[in-house]
Structures are given as C-alpha cells and as structure tokens.
Amino acid sequence: MKSLYLLSGLGADHRVFDFLEFGDFSTKPVEWIKPGKDESIQSYARRLAEQIDDANPILIGLSFGGMMAVELAKIISASGVILLSSARDKHQLPAFNRAIAPFNLVQWLPPRLLKQPNLVLHWLFGLESKQEKKLLKDILQDTDDDFLKWGISQVPQWTNTDATPNLIQIHGKSDRVFPHRQGDYLVDDGGHFMVVNRAPVVSAMLAQALRTLTGSESGRGSL
C-alpha cells in the first residue's frame, strides 16, 4: 500500500485533514520547517524532502501545500500528486497575485495582522459556521510567524510552468483564494475550506483519485 504524505496550507494545518477519509492508506504529515531569509520555494522543498522516507509515495497538498507538493515531485520519485484547493502552475494563480509579486508587500505587515481572522478572511475561505471560524483562528494562532509571512510572499512569486506527471486536481467551483475552475474533479459549491465543510464529497473524489493513481480504477467528474 502506498504511503500518503500530507502537506497542509498556510491558513490550515494537519487538523483539517482529520475531516477526510483516506481508507486503508497510511498517512504521514509533512511538518513545515523554518524558512531561511529570502529562501526560494525550490530550496525549501529540497530541505522538506528529507522528511519523505518512503519509495514512490503519493503527495497530497492543500492550498500552498499543493504548490509545495508540485515542487517536491521535481525532487523525489512520487507515484502521483493530488492537489486540494490549490494551483498546479503559475497560470492558475489569481492575476492580482502575479501583479503584486515584484513588491513583496507582506514584508511590511505585522504578523499579528496576518494572524487575525476577519470578515474578509472568512469570506475568502468560504467559512460557514462558528466552529469553522474557531478552527481557522486556532490554526492561525499556532502558525509560526516567519513561516506564515514567508509562505504568503512565495505564492505570487511562484513561477512553475512545468506539467507534473500523474497529477490529479480536486477543486471547488466557489474557491475565492484560487478562483480558477480547472480540475479533474470539481466540487460544485466547494470553497477554499471544502476539505472541512464539504468533507464527504471531497473524500469520495479523493478515493477515486487514489484508485486512479494506484491502478485500481479511473474516472473523473463533478459531485
């Protein structure tokens, strides 16, 4: 049985994966490490790869973790990559992100501002309940300040244009963080927090994607 390595996002940690079903697969969270000053996402991925000790694993990345999974797949031999609420290349980033990339505006923002949930953040993530808002607040408060600022700055600077082999993308049609509507599986009313508030639907798509990557079954669509 293939091992699944899970990479969480910037506004989410491994707690959000608790809402998903992975069947009989063995799951291993990849822990974020402290970034170096002005470190590139490619350099960071090389250091992160030291945590992967299984041959030909499947990488599952959520949001920023999906971008990191794409970079990891250039370094290690992965059986496949599954993106959740993420982008497969720079062309799936919002145009606004690409426009502000040269200015690195996040460096001027205090961490306490970045880690304070607000109505805009709730809207961007598509939060629907008090429990979801509390979960996001708890996760942000537990996130390392340096990593959060570094990660936010890396998103608009991402330059990947390579096609990743054996990549499957699960995306929400109502995602406001990555508002593209491209993917192998699309969740009709899924927002950026769909791994939590649309967990049964995402889990069903994830099961199909894993069957595809392991040769058990193929199939794509919308749910």
Axis-axis angle for helices 64-72, 145-157 (nearest 10): 70
Please tell me the predicted confidence (pLDDT) of residue 113.
58
**pLDDT digits 0-9 by tens, 154-166:** 998 899 999 999 9
Q: Could you give the percent of the chain with pLDDT greater than 70?
A: 87
Each residue of 6-22: pLDDT tens digit? 999 986 688 899 999 99
Q: Dmax of the chain from CA atoms?
A: 49
Q: What is the arithmetic mean of pLDDT over 182-197?
A: 95
* Domains (range + CATH), the chain: 3-222 (3.40.50.1820)
Provide the pairing of β-strand 80-84 with 58-62. parallel
- Could you tell me the pTM of the whole model? 0.89
| pLDDT tens readout for residues 127-144 | 999 998 998 888 888 888
Q: Of 79, 53, 63, which is closest to residue 8 (Cα–Cα)?
A: 63
H-only helix segments in 18-80: 41-48, 64-72
Band of pLDDT at residue 1, cut at 50, 70 and 90: confident
